[in-house]
Each structure stands twice: as C-alpha cells, then as structure tokens.
Amino acid sequence: MKTYTFHVSGTHCPSCKIFIEDTLNEQIGIQQTRVDLKNETVSLETNLDESKHKLAEILTEKIKHNGYSLSVEKKAKEKKDDGVIWQALPIGLAFLALFFIVQKSGVLNFGLGGTVTPVTSFIIGLVASVSSCLAVVGGLVLSLSATVSQDKISDVKPMMLFHSGRLISFAVLGGVLGAIGSAIGISFIATAILGVIASVVMIVLGLNLVGVFEKNMIALPSGVFSFLRKVEHKTIAPFLVGVGTFFLPCGFTQAMQVAALSSGSFLSGFLIMTAFALGTLPMLALLSFGSASFAQSKHAPLFFKSAGVLVIGLGAFALLAGLAGLGFINPLFSI
Amino acid sequence: MQKNTIISIIISVALIGGTFYFISDRPVSSDREVVQLQNVEIRDGIQYVTIIAKGGYSPRITEIKGGLPTKLIVKTDGTYDCSASLIVRSVGFQKILQPTGEEIIDLGIPKSGDKVQGICGMGMYNFQIKVS
C-alpha cells in the first residue's frame, strides 16, 4: 500500500470534493481519497504497481469528463479566467436594469377584465413569467439550473423533473382548490417566509456561480453543498422544488389560486391553474434549458458569472421586498 | 486587463446607481396636491380614501385629516399582479382582492401624526396615508 499526492485542477466548487472522492474510491485498488481544496491536491492510498505519472493519467481519464484533471507537477494556473468576472459584472447588471425598467414601465399592467377562463389565465401566466414574479421564481430556476449545469455538464433530467413537478402541482392543487373551495397554501406569512428562504438560496447559489466560494474567501460547511448536490441530482428533489413553486409568493399565482378557489369545481380549478402554469412555462424553460446549452459553449464561464450576478441582484431584491412584506423593514422601493 | 477592469467598474457603478435611482422609494412631490383633492372625500361625517390597485398603488402618498372615522376604498380593475394581495398591517387587514371590484377597509379614527401603510404580499408595491 502506497500513498500518493497529486495536484488537481478544475475544482471550482466545494461539492467537487465529494464528487472526486466518491469517483476515485470506486476505482479498484484506490482507497482513502482525500481532496484538499485549499491546496488543490488529492491524496490517496493504492496497492496498484503503476508509476505515479501513469496513475495520474489513468485517474484523470475517470474524472476528466467533469472537468477535473490530476497531475504530478502543479500546473500553472490558467490566467484566462480572471478577467471574466469584469465582463460578467456589467452584463449581469444590464439584465438586472432591463428587468426593473420593464417592471417600472408599466407595459405589464394591462387589464384583463371579466371572469377568469383557461385562456385568460394562460395569458396571465405569460405576463407573470416576465413580471416581478420572475425575481423569485425565475431567479430560483436560473440559479438552480446554472448550478446543475456547472456541476454536471448537459444534464437536463433535473430540469425536466422540475418543470413536470411545477405543472403537476399547479394542475392537481388547482383542482383541489376548486373542489374543496377553501384556502390551502394562501397563508400570507407562510408564502412570505418561503419567499425569503428562496431568495437566500438564490443569493448563496449566485455567490457560488460568481466564484466567491472558489477561492475559499467565504467558507461554507461542505454539508450545505452536499445537501444542494443531493437536491440537484436525486430524482425526487427537483420534482419537489417544482411542486414548491406553487406556494412561492407571486401576486399572479395567488390571484389565480383565488380564481381557482371560486371556480367551484375540480375541473375548472384544474384547467385555470394548468393553463396558468403552461403560460409561465416558455420563459422558465428558456431559463433552465438555456443554461444547459450555454454550459456547453465556450462562453460557459462568462455565462455562469453573469447569471450569478443577475441572480444575486434578483435575490437581494426579493429578500428586501419579502422582509418589507413581513413588516421587518420599511419598504425600500416601489417598482 | 487593467483598463478593462476600470471600464467594467465604471459601467457597473453607473448601472447600479441608475437602477437604484429608478426604483427607489421617493415621494412624488409635484402631483401630490392634485391627487389629494381627488381621492379623499368626506361624506356624512365619514372620510373616504380611494386607492387604485393595479400594477402598484396610486396615489402612493395621501394626506388625510385626523379625528374622523375613516374608510379606505381599494379599487381593482383587472388586477392580477402583486398589488391584489394587500396587507394593511396597522388594522390587521390581509386579503387577496377580487380582480375587479372594491374593497372597503375600516381604518377607525386615525389620530393626527399617524401613518397607515399598505403593502402588497411580496413587498414590492406600497402606499402611505399620512394623517395631518
């Protein structure tokens, strides 16, 4: 049994540690893999007779699809990445400014009179998906999708699960609202608290995308990230997050819930909420599958960092607004 | 690289500053006078304040007289956005308003110097009624 230490490159996130350790320990003859993120080294025990150089090659083969590589000598750090944040910052902020300008301009405030039919609720869904609700629901979708794409290249399964979770929960819970005709999930305090939690998650994921955690400037317990990793990769978790979006604070969603409530039957509530969820789908699908396709392009680092800046901005906005809604702070803005 | 960094910081600061100026919560002083005449009405000894809820609340700031029984009328007209989910914390009012209609909220008899604040469920829209 021999102990080797290699230099590792490509470890951009705390969850990389877990991934590399799990993958290498699965190899025959490799034990006790330890990743040191700070020094970017991997130490492991092996009973294989390969030379150190050969071993580095063999093991790199196993993890290079995920963007990591092992080497005996420390590689000169790639300089290219450093300037990206300075391009990403204005790009992310420009999108943020665009979002607020659209809100403030009032183009989204056209009226839809009369009773709510599935057709009007579909249109309301389309409007809602670019409205202020985008700050919470869209920001959450973007931050989760970008994080998933960054960790695991081109895996659209969690996103499919998220969207089907969202559609199914809106359909079923909408039907239930119509059938029982009493309030579920329309507690102000509960939705506001969920909104605050969602915005904190967005800020943390945004900081991670920007790369604040990369250099260990802020140390988060790796437990948080192994939890997030589970959320990303387990089948049930993205589905549940999708279901949870039914309860996220969004004026449009709540108005549709009331409409479903007063519609009087399972079928009409079901149709109203399904149509609404379908209306929000194009924008949200664009955000999540857009992330996946950007992740494969050569602009991936720029995309992740811009998305991070955008998500931090939206998260901060949603957090301050949510706290104001709960009455903890005075409202700071009115868009 | 150095030059790009500086340009980037300048653009970013301009964007942040501009956006904050744009969305920050500042009173609209010029048309307050006009608005006050339109949306406060005293009938049979009861003071009625009318606020329109649609894509935010208007007027944002209203001044009323103290010492009178006061009712707040919130009008909606095809309102599906956040402003439909209204919270008026000082009187314990929380409700998702009908998309089109009027909601009458009893504010009791506000004292001079009081402030009544209404805010939407997500916290992005608000209005204030100042008692003078």
**CATH number of the domain that residue A27 is part of:** 3.30.70.100
A173-187: pLDDT as tens digits: 888 888 876 555 456
> Higher-confidence residue: A320 or A151?
A320
* Per-residue confidence (pLDDT) for residue A79, from 0 to 100: 46
Q: For residue B2, is pLDDT > 50?
A: yes
Q: For residue A137, is pLDDT > 50?
A: yes
* Per-residue confidence (pLDDT) for residue A226, from 0 to 100: 64
Residues B52-76: what's their mean pLDDT? 87
* Per-residue confidence (pLDDT) for residue B72, from 0 to 100: 92
Structural domain harbouring A56: 2-71
Cβ <8 Å between A87 and B16? no
Residues A201 and A123 in one domain: yes
Domain residue spans of chain B: 28-131
Q: Using a CB-CB distance cutoff of 8 angstroms, which residues of chain B are in contact with residue A191? A: 121
Query: What is the band of A151 on the pLDDT scale with cuts at 50, 70, 90?
Result: low
* Per-residue confidence (pLDDT) for residue B31, from 0 to 100: 45
Share of chain A above pLDDT 90, in %: 2
Residues A116 and A258 in one domain: yes
Q: Is A334 inside a domain boundary? A: no
Q: How many domains does chain A have?
A: 2
Residues A50 and A136 in one domain: no
Which of these ranges, A202-206, A222-226, A294-298, B78-82, has the smallest mean pLDDT? A222-226
Q: Give the closest residue to A35 by CA, choosing from A57, A7, A74.
A: A7
Residues in contact with A130: Cβ distance below 8 Å, sequence separation at least 6, in sequence order: A102, A108, A283
> Higher-confidence residue: A202 or A15?
A202
Residues A85-114: what's their mean pLDDT? 74
What's CA A50's distance to the chain center, in Å?
41
Predicted TM-score (pTM) of the model is: 0.69
Residues in contact with A190: Cβ distance below 8 Å, sequence separation at least 6, in sequence order: A247
Q: For residue A232, is pLDDT > 60?
A: no
Residues A281 and A211 in one domain: yes
Query: In 10 A of CB A304, how many CB atoms?
Result: 24
* Per-residue confidence (pLDDT) for residue B73, from 0 to 100: 92
Query: What is the band of A327 on the pLDDT scale with cuts at 50, 70, 90?
Result: confident
Q: Using a CB-CB distance cutoff of 8 angstroms, which residues of chain B are in contact with residue A334? A: 23, 25, 56, 60, 124-126
Residue A30 pairs with which residues in a beta bridge?
Answer: A46
A31-40: pLDDT as tens digits: 888 888 777 8
Arithmetic mean of pLDDT over chain A: 78
Q: For residue A298, is pLDDT > 80?
A: no
* Per-residue confidence (pLDDT) for residue A120, from 0 to 100: 82
Which of these ranges, A15-24, A326-335, B20-29, B37-46, has the smallest mean pLDDT? B20-29
Query: ipTM of the assembly?
Result: 0.72
Q: What angle do CA B35, B94, A273 make, to 5 degrees?
A: 105
Mapped onto helix, strand or coil, the DSSP state of residue B104 is strand
Cβ <8 Å between A334 and B94? no
Q: For residue A81, is pLDDT > 60?
A: no
If residue A220 lies in a helix (H) or strand (E), which one and from where to where?
none
Residues A269 and A304 in one domain: yes
Q: Tell whether B5 lies on the interface with A, counting CB pairs under 8 A.
A: yes
Nearest chain B residue to A324 by CA: give it. B123
Write the single-letter amino acid at A76.
A
* Per-residue confidence (pLDDT) for residue A187, from 0 to 100: 67
Q: Is A98 inside a domain boundary? A: yes
Q: Is A157 inside a domain boundary? A: yes
A264-284: pLDDT as tens digits: 788 888 898 899 999 989 888
Residues A60 and A88 in one domain: no
Note the CATH architecture for domain B28-131: Sandwich (2.60)
Scan residues 292-321 of A and list those with Cβ closer than 8 Å to B. Answer: 318, 320-321
Sign of CA dihedral A83, A86, A87, A88: positive
